[in-house]
Amino acid sequence: MSTRTKLELTWIGKDEEPRLEPRILIEDPELSYHAPFRVSENDIFDNRLIYGDNLLALKALEQEFSGKIKCIYIDPPYNTGNAFEHYDDGLEHSIWLSLMRNRLLILHRLLKEDGSIWISVDDYESHYLKVLCDEIFGRRNFISNVIWEKKYTIANDAKWFSDNHDHILVYAKNKEIWFPNKLPRTEEMNKAYRNPDNHPKGPWKATPLHAKSGSEKLKNFVYTFKNGIRWSPPPGTFPRYSEETLAKLDENNEIWFGKDGKSTPARKTFLSELKQAGIPPKTIWNFDEVGHNHEAKEEVRVFNENDVFSTPKPERLLHRILHLATNPGDLVLDSFAGSGTTGAVAHKMGRRWIMIELGDHCHTHIIPRMKKVIDGTDQGGISKEVDWKGGGGFRYYRLAPSLLEKDKFGNWVISKQYNAAMLAEAMCKHMGFTYCPDDQVFWKQGKSTERDYIYTTTQLVTREIADQIQTEMAEGETLLICCKAYTANPDDYPNITFVKIPQAVLKKCEFGRDDYSLSVSQLPMKESVEQIEMFGEEDGQ
Q: How many Cβ atoms from other residues are within 10 Å of residue 118's Cβ?
A: 24
- Do 362 and 239 have their domain in common? no
- Do 223 and 173 have their domain in common? no
> DSSP 3-state assignment of 239?
strand
- Do 245 and 329 have their domain in common? no
Q: Over 298-345, what HEC string results?
A: HHHHCCCCCCCCCCCCCHHHHHHHHHHHCCCCCEEEECCCCCCHHHHH
Does 511 map to a domain? Answer: no
- Do 327 and 471 have their domain in common? no
Question: pLDDT digit of tens for each residue in the chain (541 aa)?
Answer: 344 445 678 877 787 888 999 999 999 999 999 998 888 888 999 999 999 999 999 999 999 999 999 999 999 876 555 444 434 444 467 778 888 899 999 999 999 999 999 999 988 889 989 999 999 999 999 999 999 988 888 888 888 888 889 999 999 999 999 999 999 887 888 888 999 989 999 999 999 999 888 888 887 899 999 999 999 999 889 999 999 999 999 999 999 998 888 889 999 999 888 767 788 999 999 998 988 888 788 877 777 666 666 667 999 999 999 999 999 999 999 999 989 999 999 999 999 999 999 888 899 999 999 999 999 999 999 999 999 999 999 999 999 999 999 999 999 999 999 999 999 999 999 999 999 999 999 999 999 999 999 999 999 999 999 999 999 999 999 999 999 999 999 999 999 999 999 999 999 999 999 988 755 444 444 444 444 343 343 333 3
CA distance 104 to 132: 9
- Do 462 and 333 have their domain in common? no
Does 34 map to a domain? Answer: no
In DSSP notation, 251-275 reads HTT-EE--TTS-SPPEEEEEHHHHH
Does 291 map to a domain? Answer: yes
- Do 287 and 170 have their domain in common? yes
Q: What was the pLDDT predicted at 85? A: 43
Q: Which of 336, 366, 396 is the last residue of a domain?
A: 366
- Domain interval for residue 202: 187-276
Q: What was the pLDDT predicted at 304? A: 67
Number of domains observed in the structure of the chain = 3
Alpha-carbon Rg for the chain, nearest whole angstrom, is 30
Q: What was the pLDDT predicted at 527? A: 42
pTM of the model: 0.84
Q: Note the Cα 168 to chain centre separation in Å.
A: 12
Does 226 map to a domain? Answer: yes
Does 33 map to a domain? Answer: no
From the number of C-beta atoms within 10 Å of its C-beta (0-12, 13-18, 19+), residue 144 rates as: middle
- Do 437 and 342 have their domain in common? no
Q: What was the pLDDT predicted at 87? A: 41
- Do 67 and 169 have their domain in common? yes
- Do 258 and 325 have their domain in common? no
- Do 175 and 193 have their domain in common? no
- Scored b (16 or more CB within 10 A) or e, 523-538 reads beeeeebeebeeeeee
Q: Which of 316, 342, 366 is the last residue of a domain?
A: 366
Question: Which helix H or strand E contains 93, and what residues bound it?
Answer: helix 89-110
Does 437 map to a domain? Answer: yes
Q: Quick check: 366 and 300 in contact, CB under 8 A?
A: no
Q: Which of 366, 396, 425 is the last residue of a domain?
A: 366
- Do 266 and 295 have their domain in common? no
CATH number, position 295: 3.40.50.150
Does 448 map to a domain? Answer: yes
CA neighbor of 426 nearest in space, from 104, 25, 84:
25
Q: What was the pLDDT predicted at 370? A: 96
- Do 83 and 131 have their domain in common? yes
Does 284 map to a domain? Answer: yes
